Amino acid sequence: MNDASRPWLAHYDSQVPAALAYEDIPVFAYLDRAAAEHPERTAVLFRNVRMTYAELHRRAEATACALRERGVGAGDRVAIMLPNLPQTVVAYWAVLKAGATAVMVNPLSMEHELTHQLPDAGCRLIVTLDLLWPRIEALWERLGLKRAVLTTIPEALAFPMDWLARLKLWREGKRADVRYDNRRVIRWKELTRCAGRYSAPNVLPHTDLALLQYTGGTTGAAKGCMISHANLVANVEQIRAILFAVGDRPEVFLGILPYFHVYGLTLCLNFPVAIAATMAPFARFEPHEILARIKTVRPTIFPGAPSVYVALMQQKGFAEAGWDALRYCVSGSAPMPQEVQRRFTDLTGAEILEGYGLTEASPVTHVNPLRGKRKAGSIGLPFPDTEARVVDMDAGGPNPLPPGKAGELIIKGPQVMRGYWNRPDETASTLRNGWLYTGDIAVMDEEGYFFIVDRKKDMIITGGYNVYPREIDEVLYEHPGVKEAVAVGIPHRTRGEVIKAFVVVNEGETLTKAEVLAWCKEKLAGYKVPRDVEFRDSLPKTLVGKVLRRALREEEMKRRSP
């Protein structure tokens, strides 16, 4: 592919090369280096706990040794079902050090999700919270597990906060009734106390899996994305190249994004360790608590999602919370409304770099330049060694459409997964001739900047017209009384679909359906104006802030069915 077909190269910052040299290493080599080069630097900062890189390295290898003693071998899949805690960081590196594959599981997963994902992955061991044990125990026979390692919230803390946490749990009646036998049910501290240490010696980065990451994917039900060590290493190196100034001094990463999501795992765990940065995880997204701790944490890097920035900006005292150390914000997982981006910068002085990725690409493929030209609403430029094209949605071939023409975004690069676990047919439909078909509708301009128009499946067809709901979302967000909004296509007997807007109003504001529709009529073509508006207290989202547009559509269809 020549440079003429990659116009984005001309807009890279001068420090960013078009191609990179990738080391043939397991991803845990980053931890080895951080511990060797910066042993006393703080790796994890959580409440009143500071863990150095030397200590993180020791605990990870001790826990890996304990896992090996309990039957975990090379290539085995180990489930980690934890919120963002110091134990989560240790467990992740320990599983990789043991030569196994990490299966990151949402702690809020319900029965149907657990009984699908864990047996599908073939997990035999799970690391989770004691408070979640009743849910796991009730499903034990259906999950196929042989062992469970349980940790506690107080184990994440140092004295006296650990004792206070135990007292709080006792008062709230949240004491877990667990019968430990050190065979089927094992205490976390039994693993970390292991006298030995282990680090898998013969990992093959390009073939051995580091992650089996479950996602709804580009289509259908949850599938396990097979992500190799080489995939993760490539994505970290690409991020380091594009964000070249990050890591030129000690950094502190705000760990609000959940580690069990690949975006949070890469941006808030793998990448920080690669540059020996401090990770400041938050177990729950509680805006009041986060703002109260900003002056103590003093983050320099803030990976987030639009809903995270929106929720924090709604808090009183947001601008005065202590953002003076903040250098860069990176937003992903959902489109960033331009109005939200502008307000955040006005309040903090820190600019947000919007990017793009998907689980199948480990996950990041595009981001706006660190210092070069940025374009409002753009996801930026493809990473080094990443080819991106916009192709005809119906033809399905890899031939690129001209700039300015909307089509499906397809991607090729070293960060793209090996395929879906035990899903050869779905792998074949998503990975074609080396290209990852994302299912997202995009436009590339003459300079190689990409813009996500919408999800292929979210496109609304009303009265024969194609409508991209993100365009309506943007207009709704511009209204000063709107906190959050999303447009959804609802099936209609004669028009195919009609557009309905779901709106969350700013605190203390009042807004009527007529006012919302009048606002849209001023800014949108008639066929794009919603036919209905529903006001809500909140919108359903994933834990990384992506609005579940499909869930709203399904809810509305159920309501309308006879």
Residue 235 makes CB contacts below 8 A (sequence gap 6+) with 266, 270, 361, 362, 363, 364, 415
pLDDT given at position 222: 81
Tell me, what amino acid is at 515? E
For residue 304, the cross-strand partners are 331
| DSSP code, position 85 | -
Q: CA-CA distance, 20 to 41, in Å (whole number)?
A: 28
Q: CA-CA distance, 392 to 210, in Å (whole number)?
A: 34
Query: In a 3-state reduction of DSSP, which class is residue 431?
Result: strand
Q: How confident is the model at residue 109 (pLDDT cuts 50, 70, 90)?
A: confident
pLDDT digits (tens, 9 = 90+) for 170-227: 999 888 889 999 999 999 999 988 999 999 999 999 999 999 999 864 444 689 999 9
pLDDT given at position 310: 86
Minimal CA–CA distance to 495: which of 472, 522, 525, 528?
528
Query: In a 3-state reduction of DSSP, which class is residue 165?
Result: helix
296 pLDDT higher than 70: yes
pLDDT digits (tens, 9 = 90+) for 228-266: 999 999 999 999 999 999 999 999 999 999 999 999 999
pLDDT digits (tens, 9 = 90+) for 20-31: 999 999 999 999
pLDDT given at position 314: 87
Higher-confidence residue of 461 and 67: namely: 67
449 pLDDT higher than 90: yes
The CA-atom distances, in angstroms, between 534 and each of 343, 386, 488 are 25, 41, 11
335 pLDDT higher than 80: no
Tell me, what amino acid is at 146? K
pLDDT given at position 493: 67
Task: Tell me the average pLDDT across 324-343.
Answer: 86
First-to-final CA distance of the chain: 55
Q: CA-CA distance, 231 to 205, in Å (whole number)?
A: 8
Q: What's the half-sphere exposure (Cβ side, CA atoms, 13 Å) at 148?
A: 27
Query: In a 3-state reduction of DSSP, which class is residue 541?
Result: strand
Higher-confidence residue of 330 and 560: namely: 330
461 pLDDT higher than 90: no
Q: How confident is the model at residue 488 (pLDDT cuts 50, 70, 90)?
A: very high
11-25, 54-68, 313-327 — which is least confidently predicted? 313-327
pLDDT given at position 132: 96
Q: How confident is the model at residue 155 (pLDDT cuts 50, 70, 90)?
A: very high
* Structural domains of the chain, with CATH: 22-372+380-420 (3.40.50.12780), 459-560 (3.30.300.30)
pLDDT given at position 250: 96
Q: How confident is the model at residue 1 (pLDDT cuts 50, 70, 90)?
A: very low
Size of the chain in residues? 562
Task: Tell me the average pLDDT across 10-19.
Answer: 97
Q: CA-CA distance, 311 to 286, in Å (whole number)?
A: 9
Alpha helices in 70-186 (DSSP H): 86-97, 111-121, 133-138, 140-143, 161-171
432 pLDDT higher than 80: yes
Average pLDDT, the chain: 92
pLDDT digits (tens, 9 = 90+) for 305-322: 888 898 899 898 898 898
Q: Do 297 and 394 touch, CB atoms closer than 8 A?
A: no
